[in-house]
Structure 1
Amino acid sequence: MSRGGGRGFTRVRTARGRTAQSQRWLERQLNDPYVKRAKAEGYRSRAAYKLIELDEKFGFLKSAKRVIDLGIAPGGWTQVVRKQLPKAAVVGIDLLPVDPIEGATIFQMDFMDDAAPERLIEALGGAPDLILSDMAANTVGHPQTDALRTMGLVETALDFAIQTLAPGGAFVGKVFAGGADSQLVAEMKRNFATVKHAKPPASRKGSVEWFVVAQGFKGRAAAPEAPAGE
C-alpha cells in the first residue's frame, strides 16, 4: 500500500491476480470514513450508520419493543438496535450465516420460505412494532432486472409487515433509485400514517439504494371498506 492521490488517501498497489475492479473496491474501503468508524466503534459493517442516520431523521427506534431484521447479515443493523434498545426483543433472518449477537435470535433461512414468518413471530414472542428490511436480491448486472428483483423482496416484506405489525408500528425497507413504485407507495399510504423516502449520508453517492420509511401502522382494519350496496 502507498499514500498518494491526495492528503490522507491510501492507494493500493497493483498485485498479480487482482482485477482493477477489486483494486478500486479495496481503495474505497480503506479510504471510507464510515468503514473506519465502524471498525473503531465495533460495528460489523458501515451499514450500521445508515440505520443510525435514518433513525436520527425519523425516530422509529425510540419506542420499539419487538424488532424484526430481515436480511440481517452481517448484523450491523441489529447491533444498532441492541445498543439503543437493550431491552427490546430482536429476531433476524438471512440466507447467509451470521455470527451470534447477544440478545438477538438469528435464523439462517430464506425469508421467502413459507415457514419463515411464523418462526419469526414465534421467536419474537408477539407482534413486532418495527420491521427492518435491508434485503436486496443478488445483482445480475442488468439495472432494470436488479431493481425488479429487489422490489419483489420489498413487496413481500411489506406484506409481512401489514400482516404482523402492532398498531402504530413502523416499516423501514431498502429500495433502488427512484424509490418504491407508485403502487407500493399507495399500499403503504393505505396502511401507514406517513410514508417517506430517504437516502442517508452513509449511503454511498454512487449507490442506487434508497430507503422507504413508513410509520404509524393503522392496523389490519385499514383495508378500505366496500361501498354500500356491493
Structure 2
Amino acid sequence: MATRKGLGDKRNRHDPAYLRAKREKYAGRAIYKLQEIDQRFRLIKPGTQLLDLGCWPGSWLQYAVGKTGTEATLVGVDLVPVEIALPANVQTIVGDVTKLKLDRLVERFGRFDLVLSDMAPNTTGNKDFDIPTSEDLFLRALDIASASLRIGGHFCAKVFQGGRFPELLREVESRFQQGRAYRCEHTRKQSREQYIIGRGLKATVARAHDPTEG
C-alpha cells in the first residue's frame, strides 16, 4: 500500500534531506523523520525488539539497528522486497499487512518492544480517497501493535490528517498510557502527514488483543 519514493525518485533530487541521505548511505530521506521522533520520544534503545510495517526501502531499519545493536531482533514487512543489505538480526517479510497472521508472527518472533509504521496509500491526489485509506492503514497498524507488543511497549505510526484525526488520537490514548501527535520538521510543508505515538501499552489491551489466545 505504501507510495514508493526511495532515493531513485527524481522529484527528490534537489531536496536537502534526499541529498543528505544519499551522502550518508541511507535508503531514503524518511530516516531523518524517525531520527527526529526517536530523539523526541526516546523509543529505540539497545536491545529493543522492533517491528517495522511498510518498511521499504529500509531506511528506518537502517537507523533502528544502529540504535538497538545486533542482539535485538528487527522485523520489517512490506509488499515490496527490501533490496539493501542489512545485518543478520534484521529480517524482512514480503507480505500484505492487512493479511498478516499475527499469531504466527508472535509465535515466530515473540513480542515486540516497539511497532513502527510509515505506511501510506498509493496517493491519488484526491484527499477524499487518500485520507480515509491512510486512516485505515493506521488503524490496522494500531491493531497489529495491540496484538504483538509486550505490555508497556510503544507504537509510532503515520497518518494523513483528516476529520477522524482526533478519534484516532483518542483511540491510541485509550490503549496506551500516553498518546501524542507529532509533526516532523522534515515533513514537507504541503503534506498532511502526522505521526501518532503511543507509549506504554496497557495490560488490558494486550490481553484483549492476544492472537495466541482462543
User: Within 5 A, what are the aligned runs for 1:119-130?
Assistant: 119-124=104-109, 126-130=110-114
Please name the residue that 2:183 is paired with.
199
Task: Note closer, same or farther for the CA distance 1:188–1:223 as it changes in structure 2 (3 Å cut).
Answer: farther
Deviation of 1:180 (Å): 5.8
Q: Residues 172 and 211 of structure 1 are in contact (CA less than 8 Å); yes or no, is this contact kept in structure 2? A: yes
Which residue of 23, 28, 31 maps to 1:48?
31
**Is the alpha carbon distance of 1:222 and 1:79 closer, same or farther for their aligned partners in structure 2, counting shifts above 3 Å?**
closer
The TM-score, its normalising length taken from structure 1, stands at: 0.78
CA distance in 1, matches of 2:26, 2:163: 27
Q: Distance in 1 between matches of 2:91 and 2:163?
A: 30
Instruction: Provide TM-score, normalisation by structure 2.
Output: 0.84
Using the alignment, how far apart are the partners of 2:189 and 2:162 within structure 1? 14
**Deviations 1:90-123 (CA, angstroms, capped at 9, x unpaired):** 00100012114222111111111153x2343344
Aligned-partner residue type, residue 93 of structure 2:
F
The size of the alignment, in residue pairs, is 197
Shift of 1:223: 8.6
Deviation track 1:77-97 (CA, whole Å, cap 9, x = no partner) reads 000011111132100100012
Q: Decide whether the 8 Å contact of 1:180 with 1:212 is kept in 2.
A: no
Query: Aligned partners of 2:164, 2:18: CA distance in 1, in Å?
Result: 28
CA distance in 2, matches of 1:73, 1:112: 16
Residue 93 (structure 2) aligned to one of 107, 110, 131: 107
Choose which of 69, 72, 86 in structure 2 pairs with 1:88.
72
Aligned partner of 1:120: which letter? L
Shift of 1:39: 1.2
Structure 1 residue 157 corresponds to structure 2 residue 141: yes
C-alpha contact 1:190 1:223 (8 A) present in aligned 2 = no
Q: Structure 1: which 5+ runs fail to align?
A: 1-24, 225-230
Could you tell me which residue of structure 2 aligns to residue 77 of structure 1? 60
Aligned twin of 1:34 = 17
DSSP-derived class of the 1:154 partner: helix
Please tell me whether the aligned partners of residues 28 and 59 of structure 2 are also in contact (alpha carbons under 8 angstroms): yes
Deviation, 1:141, is: 2.4
1:58 and 1:38 map into 2 onto residues whose CA distance is 22
8 Å Cα contact 1:69-1:78 kept in structure 2: yes
**Residue of structure 2 aligned with 1:170, choices 136, 146, 154:** 154
Code of the residue aligned with 2:147 in structure 1: it is: Q
Query: By how many angstroms is 1:66 displaced?
Result: 0.9
For 2:118, the equivalent position in structure 1 comes to 134
Deviates more, 1:187-196 or 1:147-156: 187-196
State the partner residue of 1:4: none
SS state at 2:13 partner: helix
Letter in 2 for 1:144: D
Compute the displacement of 1:64 (Å). 5.5
Greater relative contact order: 1 or 2 (C-alpha under 8 angstroms, separation 6 or more)? 2
SS at match of 2:143: helix
- Higher-Rg structure is 1
Q: Is the 8 A contact 1:179 1:211 kept in 2?
A: no
Alpha-carbon RMSD across the aligned residues, in angstroms, is: 2.2
Which segments of 5 or more consecutive residues in structure 2 lack a partner in the other structure?
Answer: 1-8, 209-214
Aligned residues of 1:66 and 1:130 also touching (Cα < 8 A) = yes
